[in-house]
Structure 1
Amino acid sequence: MISPFHLAIPVTDLKASALFYGEHVGCGQGRSSKQWIDWDFYGHQLVTHLVDRMPQGEAANQVDNKSVPVPHFGLVLPKADWEALALRLEQAGYNFHIAPYIRFQGEVGEQGTFFLFDPSGNALEFKYFEDMTQLFAS
């Protein structure tokens, strides 16, 4: 069994976060208060904590000639779920920071990936591996 992770992130607007994580990303809502909301992030606990302003210090790394935001978090999903999520986010009008594309096509480690920012500016990456046994291959 894979142990679920717990991740707490800052957000500046709980209503906008609820729309993004609840309706568009498809997370079930758990406990909440006026200051935070727990989310079922595909079996993991994600907590959005209300803050007055976002922390500063975002950077980027170049990967495949694309500017990958650091820090970022996200999930590795089954391919069909990844495709459905990308379509749902596109149809909801979200702009991808890095549009869905395939890395290492036809090679060991082939994967689909995309990046976007939540309404508060947290960077997220969602990906799938054509062969999940290659997730931690070196």
Structure 2
Amino acid sequence: MQSRPAVHLAIPVDDLDAARRFYGDILGLDRGRSSDHWIDWDLYGHQLVTHRVAGEITAQGLSEVDGHRVPVPHFGLLLRTADFHVLADRLRTAGVEFVIEPYLRFPGRPAEQWTMFLRDPAGNALEFKAFADETQVFTR
């Protein structure tokens, strides 16, 4: 059986303990290999690596999308709808502040999707979304 391709993403953090709490305890990701300078995370089958860096980590900018100010750059993941809502509830319970609260975009249209934006403790912007019909991800 051939495995599906997976993404490898490395992001900067200024505090590995804060990253450990956020990605492990709050997001519920399984931890992989680690050192004093980095931690591997299983992001739903994709490899996310939090690398400790010296200095300030700053956001780059905002882009207008559907009347919301979307942080750029950001990274994220497409989830199944049920997983999206479980994660949104988990984040609310943990008291995570959303940049953009979970909401439904394009209701009743081919690209109907749930989306939410948040930041990790280092300020990295994350987006999670779920399409009503996963075959419509790239529909124009």
**Common fold: TM-score over 0.5:** yes
Out of 38, 48, 51, the residue aligned to residue 49 of structure 1 is 51
> Which amino acid in structure 2 is aligned with residue 17 of structure 1?
A
| 1:59 to 2:61 alignment | yes
The percent of aligned pairs where both chains have the same amino acid is: 55
Indicate if the aligned counterparts of 1:11 and 1:54 stay in contact, CA closer than 8 A.
no
Unaligned 5+ runs, structure 2: none
Deviation at 1:113, TM superposition (A): 0.1
Q: C-alpha separation between the residues in 2 aligned to 1:81 and 1:57?
A: 27
Equivalent pair of 1:77/1:128 in contact (CA under 8 Å): yes
Deviation at 1:137, TM superposition (A): 1.4
Partner secondary structure for residue 45 of structure 1 = strand
Distance 2:94 2:17 in 1: 16
2:112 to 110, 113, 138: 110
Give the root-mean-square deviation of aligned CA atoms: 1.0
Q: Give the drift of 1:56.
A: 4.1
In the alignment, what sits opposite 1:29? 31
CA distance in 2, matches of 1:98, 1:63: 11
* Unpaired segments ≥5 residues, structure 1: none
- 1:120 maps to a residue whose letter is A
Q: Does 1:82 align with 2:50?
A: no
Q: Does 2:6 correspond to 1:4?
A: yes
Which amino acid counterpart does residue 134 of structure 2 have in structure 1? Answer: M
* Offset from partner CA, 1:13-66 (integer Å, 9 cap, x none): 101111111111111000000000000010000000001124446111100111
Aligned equivalent of 2:16: 14
Any idea what SS the aligned residue of 2:31 has?
strand
Say which is worse superposed, 48-57 or 64-73, in terms of deviation: 48-57
SS in 1 for 2:85: helix
Cα distance between partner residues in 1 of 2:119 and 2:59: 15
1:87-138 CA distance string (max 9 Å, x none): 0011001000000000000111000000000000000000000000001112
Question: Using the alignment, how far apart are the partners of 2:56 and 2:8 within structure 1?
Answer: 20
Aligned residues: 138
Does residue 126 (structure 1) correspond to residue 128 (structure 2)? The answer is: yes
